[in-house]
Amino acid sequence: MHIGFIGLGRMGGHMASRLLDAGHTLTVMDLSDAAVKALTDRGAERATTAKDVADACELVFASLPNPPIVLETALGANGVIHGSKIKTFVDLSTTGTKVSAAVHDGLKAKGVSALDAPVSGGVKGARDGTLAIMVGGPKAAFDEHQSVIATFGKLFFLGETPGAGQTMKLINNLISCAHIAVTAEGMAMGARAGLDPQLMIDVLNVSTGASSATRDKWPRSVLPRTFDYGFATALAFKDLRLCLEEAEAMGVPMVVGSSVRQFLSITNQLYGPDSDFTCMAKTAEVLAAIDAD
């Protein structure tokens, strides 16, 4: 199948590569020449605009960093909405429900189906095809393309309401970041008390304090001090902001979530937007006056 893919960053590049591995023909577009070359060297065709991708392919994926870029890619002057061939647009980005609804409505008016399909699992999941993909939108479009989307991992159809997948993704990232924040504080407390960090994680992982943070993020990225799990602090902060804004609009209090957002804000200021979100552990160490490095 000839498929379009827009956005070849840390996640998108791996997902596009998996489509090539599965035998599909690709037309790709990204602002990074190096990212595009990595795919064209393997046989993908290059496009210069989102419209060009949508002129070439009936099915187009996008994996992009923020809501404004998604809106421009979908509905802008050179967006996929002006493509002559596109029939289905699948947005793998995390944008929130408002953008998903706008994209859905805009493309529907042109006879194009839109699925919001944000993913979770980090760079490793994108590379290995083990992502969780949370899909919302027209069931007919999902049914038609689910075998292709499943190239990236395990599918969950959340419903036909535009943005249903986005709501689930924001909830997931809220809980994931909360696990990191509270683990960071607990580990900092233990360090001040003189406990061995590795032994603490070993205890937590067979106790009721276990979570994705203790099982995966600390062993992989925090204990070795690499802080390279694969998700930027700025993106995590963006997702928490979107989550809290949507919760507030629904009248749902986010007492813990507000604290996690503040934790990410401090981490963003201390270590920069391109730092890994596991640097929240370093933020806790700084606040506890621990010199862990």
Which residues have C-beta within 8 Å of that of residue 175, sequence separation ≥ 6? none
The whole-number average pLDDT for the span 51-61 is 98
**Per-residue pLDDT at 288:** 94
For the chain, the average pLDDT equals 96
**83 closest CA partner among 54, 110, 50:** 54
The whole-number average pLDDT for the span 219-226 is 97
- Tell me the pLDDT tens digit for each residue of 142-186: 999 999 999 999 999 999 999 999 999 999 999 999 999 999 999
- Tell me the pLDDT tens digit for each residue of 183-198: 999 999 999 999 999 9
Which residues have C-beta within 8 Å of that of residue 133, sequence separation ≥ 6? 92, 117, 118, 119, 149, 150, 152, 153, 154, 155, 156, 165
Domains for the chain: give ranges and CATH numbers.
2-161 (3.40.50.720), 167-287 (1.10.1040.10)
Q: What percent of the chain has pLDDT over 90?
A: 97
Tell me: pLDDT of 3 over 90. yes
Per-residue confidence band for 290, with pLDDT thresholds at 50, 70 and 90? confident
Tell me: pLDDT of 231 over 80. yes
The whole-number average pLDDT for the span 70-84 is 97
Instruction: Tell me the one-letter amino acid at 204.
Output: L
**Per-residue pLDDT at 293:** 66
Which residues have C-beta within 8 Å of that of residue 228, sequence separation ≥ 6? 221, 276
Q: Which residues are catalytic?
A: 169
DSSP reduced 3-state for 70? helix
